[in-house]
Amino acid sequence: MAHVSPEDFKAALGSWAAGVTVVTTRLDGMVYGLTVSSFSSLSMDPRLILVCLADTNRMPKMISESKCFGVSILAEGQDEIATWFSKSGREPLAAFPAEIPTIEWETGSPLIAGALGHIDCELDAALPGGDHTIVVGRVLGAGADAAKKPLLYYRRGYRGLVLD
């Protein structure tokens, strides 16, 4: 295939069910977060994860300056949180809205309370990847709530997981 249309590319990728994360950072007393589904583990030794962030968003630059970020793996029922963080045009704030409670670990990056999992990272590398930046984080802290189910994103909508 010499040419792949943006529509075909999006349709193919939309067929991949992905977990939903919110990536956050704190810089100069301001917090910012972004809904991200391009997230993956990278290495066990050292413990590394990666997220892919659009260069048109302020997040890659903020993480490069703050040298840290957090990843909250959202749980079923946190659709509204995912939607709020996916809205474009938001500015960094002194704090997230009260209906989005957060916790902090070692780096001070806000983590979404009640999430299925949390990962606290220091910046290990920021690499170019087309129109995105691949942000590699060295994991300083991680935890999960085994009693919760994940929030999934599939074909442009949030979904739950049905367990047999």
Residue 2's pLDDT band, with cuts at 50, 70 and 90, is low
Residue 18's pLDDT band, with cuts at 50, 70 and 90, is confident
pLDDT tens-digit series, residues 52-90: 999 999 999 999 999 999 999 999 999 999 999 999 889
Does domain 21-154 fall under CATH 3.40.50.2300? My reply is no
Give the dihedral of Cα atoms 35, 66, 143, 158; nearest 10 deg.
Answer: 0
H/E run at residue 158: strand 157-159
Mean pLDDT on 3-8: 85
Question: Looking at residue 59, what is its pLDDT?
Answer: 96
Mean pLDDT on 145-160: 87
d(C-alpha 41, C-alpha 136), whole Å: 10
| Cis omega (within 30 of 0) for bond into 46 | yes
Tokens 């996916």, located at residue:
86
